Structures are given as structure tokens and as C-alpha cells.
Amino acid sequence: MSDVSTYCFGLILTLGLSLGMTVTAAPLDEALKPLPPVAQLDPAKVELGRQLFNEPRLSVNNTLSCASCHHLESGGADNKPFSIGFDGKPVEINTPSVFNASLNFKQFWNGRVDTLEAQVEQVVISPVEMGSDWKTVVQNLSALPAYQAAFKQAYPDGVTAANVQNALATYERTLLTPNSRFDQYLLGNTEILTIQEKYGYQRFKDYGCIACHQGINIGGNMFQKFGVMGDYFKVRGNPVESDLGRYLLTKDEEDRHVFKVPSLRNIAVTAPYFHDASAKTLEEAVDVMFKFQLGRNPSQEDKDLIIQFLKTLTGEWSGKPL
């Protein structure tokens, strides 16, 4: 903004306030962007997807639904290091939040699929998650008159595997968490953050956290090696197959320990952290990031300020703070 523009804006703001007018501040020009509004999607598909999200018949033994591991009332995950599969055993990797997942450029920690539909398809047939198959799922849902009617309303061809996947993905696309205090700040309400939180955001940028945690989802739009500035897995010990990240897909040595950068939205309410759930608190996670991703040794004050900033990223769902 030029000096003349700044002066004019200030004059308009002062005049508006003196006259008792409501003046809307301009959005800030930042690398991080506020969440978009929820798209207007087919209500019949959204409602069907909501029902399916809570439907245990998607699992082989009718014990597990999407909602079993993605608790919408508490951050969109389940607060466990590793969620429990249909067989009562823990899965191999930490469950990420379903909130804002539609904004990620890939799905799963290793980014093995591009769409929410493909993610649903794989979770249902996973031998450690729902353990079912799509033929059985379609048969089970087709046997229920309520689902027959709901699918017919939303899809001309009724109950099919593709339609189940699309309905679930459509519902998940509505699971955005807008109106975080940081989003309000980005939209121009600069007084919504405390001075310490603003300092924290500046430190977040100064130290380079924003190089990977960027864009609308404050992450979720690139891959990165876990352990850029040190051998995280050697220090942690007890290596397991899931630590290999994208290498499991590509067999390319450059993809060893490479994962999708997670979104930081709602990070304060989605502990534990990382694919291996090794960080139990936000403080531990920040320490690991500084040591192994940035190779920096910040002051305790700087870390505390960044954590205060991260807590401003918690949004709302159904009109209530997470």
C-alpha cells in the first residue's frame, strides 16, 4: 500500500469511526490464507455421507465407523497414539484429523492417493482398519430400505461402491473449521490476537516454519523428509516399517522418511503428534521440529511465543470452538 493510499485509508477509518459507522478492515496480504467458506454441495449427498460416516456396517464385523477414529467433537481424530482397528489391534500410524482434509493435496501420511474418494476406498478394505470389501459393503447397505431410498434420492444408480465413496467424500468436504482467531486476524481484525501471539507468528516466519507449513491449510500441500537436519529415527530408536514414508510406495531412496507435511490447523487439540505419535504435547512437537527440521536452538521465550501463535489456529465446527 502506497503512502497516499495508507493516508486515505486512515482518513476514511477515522471519519467512519467518528460518525459511528462500522468499518471493515481489509484482509492482510500474508503467505498464510484464511479458510474458504464451505462449498454449497448437494444436500442429499451430504446427509447421506453424514450417515455413512457414522455407519459401522462399513467394517467387516460391524464394529467400526469413520467416526470411531475421527471424533468431530474433539479435533477430528481420536487422541490415541494409534487408533484401534476392527480386530481390536492398534493400527500402524497415527490417525490425522478429518477436519480440513479436503484441502490437502494428497491423502494419508505417505500421500498415496489424490482424493478423498480414494482414501475412503482404501480404508474400508484395509486389513488393519475396517477389513471389509466393497462387494460386502454394497450388499449390506442395499439390504436396508432407508439406505435404498437415500441413495436413490442422491444417485440415479443407487447403492454402488463409487457412490458410497463419493457420498462420504462429499460430507468430508463440508468438514472445515473456519473462524479461528488467526483467520479473523488474516481477514483484517488485527486486534483479535495478543501482542505475544503476533510475536509468535513473526517468529514462526522468521525461523522458517512457514517454508513447509503454508497456504490455506497451513501445511498439507507438499512432501518433506522427517529429519532434514538430523537423524530423527536413529535418535528415537525402534524403527518400524511405517517410518519409511513414501519409500514404501516409490522404493526411491530419496523418499525414505518422507511424509506429507501435516496441516497445523487445530494443532492444539489434536495431540499426539507426528506419524509415530511420539510427541505427546505441543511443546515436545515444537522441540522436535526445531532440532530435526530446522537445526536451530531457539530461546525458550521464542518457543513459547510460537506455541501461543499455534493455539490461535483452532477453529470452529457447527458454530462452536473445537
Annotation-wise, does 69 bind a ligand?
A: yes
Cα–Cα distance between 257 and 232 in angstroms, integer? 9
**Going by C-beta distance under 8 Å and a sequence separation of 6 or more, which residues neighbour residue 242?**
92, 93, 109, 248, 275, 276
Annotation-wise, does 71 bind a ligand?
A: no
Q: How many C-beta neighbours within 10 Å does residue 271 have?
A: 17
Contact between residue 207 and residue 302 where contact means Cβ atoms under 8 Å apart: yes
Whether 129 is a known active-site residue: answer: yes
Q: Are strands 320-321 and 316-317 parallel, antiparallel or unpaired?
A: antiparallel
Single out the catalytic residue among 129, 253, 284, 316. 129
Contact between residue 65 and residue 53 where contact means Cβ atoms under 8 Å apart: yes
Annotation-wise, does 289 bind a ligand?
A: yes
Closest CA to 100 of 212, 266, 261, 211: 266
Annotation-wise, does 213 bind a ligand?
A: yes
Q: How many C-beta neighbours within 10 Å does residue 296 have?
A: 12
Cα–Cα distance between 263 and 282 in angstroms, integer? 14
Q: Which three cell numbers stand for residue 203?
A: 517468529
Annotation-wise, does 212 bind a ligand?
A: yes
Question: For the CA atoms of 196, 201, 203, 204, what is the dihedral angle to 10 degrees?
Answer: 140
The catalytic residues are 129
Annotated binding site: 66, 69-70, 209, 212-213, 289
Annotated binding site for heme c: 66, 69-70, 209, 212-213, 289
